[in-house]
Amino acid sequence: MPKSMLMLTLILIAGFKTCNGTKPNALTKSTTTTNKPTTSTQTLAERPTFASDVRPILQSSCQPCHFQGGKMYEKLPFDKPETITKLGTKLFTRIENEDQQRVIREFLSEQSARADR
């Protein structure tokens, strides 16, 4: 048993040195992409959209109440981007995940920039 623990330790150390302690490309790429602030030089594909980025977050945290058939739908329909733009960061009372908040902030920033144009 001690030899197997020693071998496992050596393999882990060798693997860690090989990758220099960095994350695999798949993780690094997604983290890098979502950490970028929304700027005018950012491509449209990198900017969060309501349908593909924001709505799934809201569905996972706010359904069924704020979606079609829910008891809060008439007052605050979260399937409409206008509602989200109007509420802004007040949404974060229920959405505590920082990555999800960042995506929503980027979306709100883009909506604000469009309104200013």
| Domain locations along the chain | 49-117
CB 57, CB 104: distance < 8 Å: yes
At 19-61, the pLDDT tens digits run 444 444 333 333 334 444 444 455 666 899 999 999 999 999 9
On whether the pTM is more than 0.95, the answer is: no
Q: Please, what is the average pLDDT of the chain?
A: 77
For residue 104, CA distances in Å to 61, 66, 71, 94 come to: 13, 17, 23, 13
